[in-house]
Amino acid sequence: MSIMYKVWFVAVVFATVLSAVYSYATPSEQCPGESFEDLRDRIQVTPCGQKRCKLPKNSNITVVFKFTPKKVVKSITNEVFANIAGVPLPFIGVDGTDACGDVKRADTQEAVACPLPADQDYVYTNVFPVQPFYPAVNLRVHWNLKDGKKSLICFEVPAVITAGKKN
């Protein structure tokens, strides 16, 4: 093989591997008025999809957030709603609940309790079921972890509820 061919071959392999890795990224977008650095590296919704998260009925969705507060965190509250055709519907059972109990230190995976020291990496994990009675519609999920009025991390993602498996 000529050198040029080898270089080209390596480049193609590299690009293929990269695109395979990136296709797992959640297509999260900034919440209005926010601009979190590396947002797409911080948010993971499973299962999802490349352009919108596909949420099958009768399945569990896992949401993982990584965040690094610049100030001490007194408390964390979930603000979760689904925007359906422009109408925000709170996600009952999650919206307004305490999120501190679902936070761990990113490095040691140890559970933590609020108040959280600043300048640490934290991971928040939540698993929720897609109920069979949810309407199979397009929606936009908004998920914000808030300390009082301040947002610690926030994302929005286009999603669709799909039929999934029958029970």
Nearer to ligand NAG, 50 or 60 (CB): 60
Q: Which listed residue (50, 59, 131, 162) binds ligand NAG by CB under 6 A? A: 59
- Taking CA atoms, 144 is separated from 5, 65, 81, in Å, by 49, 10, 9
**Residue 167 CB, nearest approach to ligand NAG (Å):** 9
23: left (phi over 0), alpha (psi -120 to 50) or beta: alpha
Q: Which is nearer to ligand NAG, 63 or 152 (CB)?
A: 63
Q: Which of residues 126-165 bind ligand NAG (CB under 6 A)?
A: 129
How far apart (Å, rounded) are the C-alpha atoms in residues 94 and 63?
12
Angle made by CA atoms 13, 19, 21, in degrees to the nearest 5: 105
Question: Computed from CA positions of residues 79, 84, 88, 94, in that sequence, does the dihedral angle turn out positive or negative?
Answer: negative
Show the CA angle centred on residue 13, arms to residues 9 and 16, nearest 5°.
140
Q: Phi, psi (5° rounding) for residue 72?
A: -55, 135
Q: How far is the CB of 164 from ligand NAG (least distance, A)?
A: 9
Does position 58 interact with ligand NAG (CB under 6 A)? The reply is: yes
Q: How far is the CB of 55 from ligand NAG (least distance, A)?
A: 12
Closest contact distance (angstroms) between CB of 34 and ligand NAG is 30
Q: How far is CA 83 from CA 40, 65, 158, in A?
A: 20, 20, 9
30 binds ligand NAG (CB under 6 A): no
Q: If binding is defined by CB under 6 A, does position 101 make contact with ligand NAG?
A: no
Cβ-based nearer residue to ligand NAG, 117 or 129: 129
Closest residue to bound ligand NAG by CB: 60
* Binding piece for ligand NAG, criterion CB under 6 A, among 45-53, 54-62, 69-77, 112-120: 54-62
